[in-house]
């Protein structure tokens, strides 16, 4: 059984059973479970493992996993454990703990092979034989310059190392075009770089060029999945932390605030209707038909928004460079509005036996789908430029616009041509 499958089974256990786990597993098994478990299970488990066993487990774990585990502990225990570690390990882990969880520094590991440029291929192979089993990547050897700064100046592919003469120096076979990131870079940006250049690992380098660690592709996949989860959750107006097993109380805490924000926008739309109550009282058919206009605006706005959110996720979008696309989008709103408006207009004219009502809904639909395009395009752009997550907040503003303005346009037109409608 793979440790990942074992960890999956843990999901079905009660908390008390998890608490007892450390008594049933040996240190090696426990290490594998800790490496694969989610944050919550890790935290539970580590509370029931004594300091000595934990330190023994850390020997076989990569530094980034140790940092994650320590990061979730209470400060008191973390300090105690750090003090019991070897000086070298303590220093590395202390440094790693400084970086935010979601930065390149926070997800990097220090288990890589770096060698000075004046080493020979034979020496490099000896080193790989020796420390290879403890590193996360052996396909790439990082080459540093000769002074103490460990400045990263190139990489050597293990393929080239294996096929080069034994006495060649690393700087003769290295590739000096290294793609790297600085430790402060956001993990989402790191993921974009890795997937763009098809890398197996990316080195993290200080502003002065010294190699600090590497980020491996399996951690990058975790980042991509995490961001994906977050986008879907945010588009739906909830939190990525929520799942089927979240408690009722927690779910209320995560979802209610969002619903209350939406309530404000719902009231705004309601006021737009209230202004025209006299008109509705005279032509009651308006109340049944107005929701078609607002609803279709909401749908069209979502379409434009989803295109923009994907564009923003894959790169920078500047209004100055894409105003043509904005013009196209508004034109598209007019075309789709005319098409759906024509269908609706004819249907409404027949159902209510009132051709003028049909014409008004046709015009309102065109107007509201143009509004939807304008807001669907601009709102995500503006939110991104304000460093807010467009996936989280766009829908609120776009729906407010399509609902409020949708009612306003339709009922406004109806009021203007009231004598024809009655």
Residues 129-158 within binding reach of a copy of itself (CB under 8 A): 129, 132-133, 138-139, 158
Which CB sits closer to a copy of itself, 145 or 229?
Answer: 229
For residues 177-196, which are near a copy of itself according to CB under 8 A? 177, 179, 194-196
Q: Does 384 bind a copy of itself (CB under 8 A)?
A: no
| 69 lies in the binding site for a copy of itself (CB under 8 A) | no
SS3 at position 294: helix
Cα distance between residue 338 and residue 343, in whole Å: 9
244-266 b/e with 16+ CB inside 10 Å = b?
Answer: eebeeeeeeebbeebeeeeeebe
Nearer residue to a copy of itself within complex by CB, 22 or 231: 231
Q: Tell me how far, at minimum, the Cβ of 164 lies from a copy of itself, in Å.
A: 10
Position 197 contacts a copy of itself (CB under 8 A): yes
DSSP class of residue 83 equals: H
Residue 198 makes contact with a copy of itself by CB under 8 A: yes
Phi, psi of 60 (to 5 degrees): -100, 5
**Rounded to whole angstroms, how far apart are CA atoms 211 and 181?**
10
Among 51, 310, 385, 416, binds a copy of itself (CB under 8 A): 310
Query: 3-state DSSP call for residue 151?
Result: strand
Task: Sheet containing 152-157: give its strands across.
Answer: 114-116, 140-144, 152-157
Contact between 179 and 154 (Cβ < 8 Å): no
Question: Which of 159, 208, 318, 422 touches a copy of itself by CB under 8 A?
Answer: 159
Task: Indicate the SS3 state at residue 175.
Answer: strand
418 binds a copy of itself (CB under 8 A): no
What residues from 214 to 253 belong to the interface with a copy of itself (CB under 8 A)? Answer: 217-218, 220-222, 224-225, 228-229, 231-233, 235-238, 240, 242-245, 247-248, 251-252
**Residue 73: burial class (beta carbons within 10 Å; 0-12, 13-18, 19+):** middle
For a copy of itself, the closer of residues 295 and 355 by Cβ is 295
- Interaction residues for a copy of itself, span 325-344 (CB under 8 A): 325, 328, 331-332, 335-336, 339-340, 343-344
User: For a copy of itself, which is the closer residue by CB, 149 or 288?
Assistant: 288
Per-residue contact string for residues 277-306; x = within reach of a copy of itself by CB under 8 A = x--xx--xxxxxxxxx-xxx--xx-xx-xx
Closest to a copy of itself by CB, 123 vs 311, is 311
Which of residues 55 and 347 has its CB atom nearest to a copy of itself in the complex? 347
Contact 220, 195 (CB under 8 A): yes
| Burial zone of 167 (CB within 10 Å; 0-12 exposed, 13-18 middle, 19+ buried) | exposed
- The nearest distance, CB 68 to a copy of itself, in angstroms, is 15
Q: For residue 122, what are the contacts with CB-CB under 8 A and spacing of at least 6?
A: 166, 167
Name the DSSP class of 207.
T
Nearer to a copy of itself, 130 or 146 (CB): 130
Which of the 8 DSSP states describes residue 137?
A: -
Report the candidate in 76, 105, 73 with the shortest Cα–Cα distance to residue 92: 105
Dig out the tokens for 347 from the structure.
Answer: 């249907």
Q: Count the site residues for a copy of itself by CB under 8 A.
A: 105
Mapped onto helix, strand or coil, the DSSP state of residue 171 is helix
The CA distance from 179 to 278, in Å, is: 66
**Window contacting a copy of itself (CB under 8 A); options: 25-33, 73-81, 96-104, 212-220:** 212-220
Closest distance between a copy of itself and the C-beta of residue 326, in Å? Answer: 9
Question: Which range touches a copy of itself (CB under 8 A), out of 15-23, 47-55, 67-75, 271-279?
Answer: 271-279
CB atoms within 10 A of CB 90: 14
Query: Contact at 8 Å (CB) between 160 and 145?
Result: no
Decide: is 166 part of the binding site for a copy of itself (CB under 8 A): no
Alpha-carbon distance of 379 to 374, in angstroms, equals: 8
- For a copy of itself, the closer CB: 150 or 336: 336
Name residues contacting a copy of itself, limited to 97-136 (CB under 8 A).
Answer: 125, 128-129, 132-133
- By the rule CB under 8 A, 96 interacts with a copy of itself: no
- To the nearest whole angstrom, how small is the minimum distance from the Cβ of residue 414 to a copy of itself? 12
Cβ 132 to a copy of itself, closest distance in Å? 4
CB of 32 to a copy of itself, least distance (A): 12
Q: Minimum distance from CB of 335 to a copy of itself (Å)?
A: 6
């Amino acid at each position: 059984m793979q440790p990942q499958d074992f960890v999956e089974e843990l999901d079905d256990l009660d908390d008390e059973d998890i608490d007892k786990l450390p008594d049933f597993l040996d240190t090696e098994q426990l290490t594998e479970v800790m490496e694969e478990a989610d944050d919550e299970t890790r935290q539970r488990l580590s509370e029931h493992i004594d300091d000595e066993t934990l330190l023994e487990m850390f020997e076989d774990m990569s530094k980034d996993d140790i940092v994650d585990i320590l990061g979730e502990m209470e400060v008191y225990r973390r300090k105690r454990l750090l003090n019991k570690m070897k000086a070298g390990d303590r220093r590395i882990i202390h440094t790693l703990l400084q970086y935010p969880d979601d930065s390149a520094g926070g997800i990097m590991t220090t288990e890589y092979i770096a060698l000075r440029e004046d080493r020979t291929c034979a020496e490099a192979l000896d080193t790989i034989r020796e420390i290879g089993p403890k590193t996360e990547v052996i396909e790439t050897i990082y080459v540093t310059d000769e002074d103490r700064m460990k400045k990263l100046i190139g990489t050597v592919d293990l393929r080239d190392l294996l096929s080069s003469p034994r006495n060649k120096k690393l700087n003769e076979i290295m590739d000096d075009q290294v793609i790297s990131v600085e430790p402060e870079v956001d993990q989402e940006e790191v993921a974009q770089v890795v997937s763009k250049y098809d890398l197996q690992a990316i080195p993290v380098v200080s502003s002065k060029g010294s190699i600090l660690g590497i980020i491996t592709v399996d951690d990058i996949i975790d980042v991509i999945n995490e961001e994906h989860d977050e986008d879907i959750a945010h588009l739906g107006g909830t939190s990525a932390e929520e799942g089927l097993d979240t408690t009722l109380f927690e779910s209320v805490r995560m979802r209610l605030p969002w619903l209350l924000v939406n309530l404000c926008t719902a009231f705004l739309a309601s006021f737009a209707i209230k202004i025209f109550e006299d008109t509705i009282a005279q032509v009651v058919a308006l109340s049944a038909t107005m929701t078609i206009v607002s609803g279709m605006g909401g749908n069209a706005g979502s379409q434009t928004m989803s295109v923009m959110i994907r564009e923003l996720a894959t790169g920078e979008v500047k209004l100055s460079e894409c105003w043509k696309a904005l013009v196209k989008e508004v034109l598209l709103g007019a075309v789709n509005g005319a098409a759906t408006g024509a269908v609706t207009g004819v249907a409404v004219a027949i159902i209510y036996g009132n051709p003028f009502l049909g014409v008004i809904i046709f015009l309102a639909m065109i107007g509201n789908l143009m509004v939807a395009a304008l807001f669907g395009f601009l709102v995500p752009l503006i939110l991104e430029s304000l460093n807010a997550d467009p996936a989280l907040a766009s829908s609120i503003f776009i729906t407010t616009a399509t609902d409020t303005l949708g009612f306003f346009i339709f009922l406004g037109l109806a009021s203007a041509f009231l004598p024809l409608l009655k």
